[in-house]
Chains A and B, each alone.
Chain A
Amino acid sequence: MSKTSRTGIIAPANAKKDSIIEIRAIAQHDMETGFRYTEDGKRIPRDIIRLFTCRYNNEEVFRADFYSGIGANPLVIFNTIAITSGTIECRWTGDNGYEAVNQVNITVS
Chain B
Amino acid sequence: MNSFKVHPPNLSRRLYLSALGVLGLSSSLTPLSALGTKPEAMEAIAKIVGSNTLKDGRVKLVIPPLVESGNLVVLKVAIQSPMTNVDYVKAIHIISEANPSPNIFTAYFTPHSGRAELTTRVRLADSQRVWAIAQMSDGSYWQDYADTLVTLSACTEMI
Q: Which residues of A contact B (CB under 8 A)?
A: 20-21, 33, 35-39, 44, 56, 59-81, 83
Contacts and interface: CB of A to CB of B under 8 A. Distances in A.
Interface of B: 71-73, 94, 96, 99-101, 103-110, 112-115, 117-124, 154-159
Contacts of A69: 94, 96, 99, 101, 103-105, 122-124
Contacts of B155: 33, 35-36, 68
A78 B118 contact: yes
B114 A79 contact: yes
20 contacts: A36-B155, A38-B158, A60-B110, A63-B107, A64-B105, A64-B106, A64-B107, A64-B108, A68-B99, A68-B100, A69-B103, A70-B104, A71-B73, A71-B121, A72-B72, A73-B121, A74-B120, A75-B121, A77-B119, A83-B112
Contact of B123 (A70, A76, A78, A80): A70
Contacts of A77: 118-120
Given A36-B156, A72-B71, A62 B119 contact: no
A97 B104 CA distance: 21
Nearest to B116: A79
Nearest to B130: A69
A58 B94 CA distance: 27
B68 to A, nearest CB: 14
Contacts of B108: 62-64
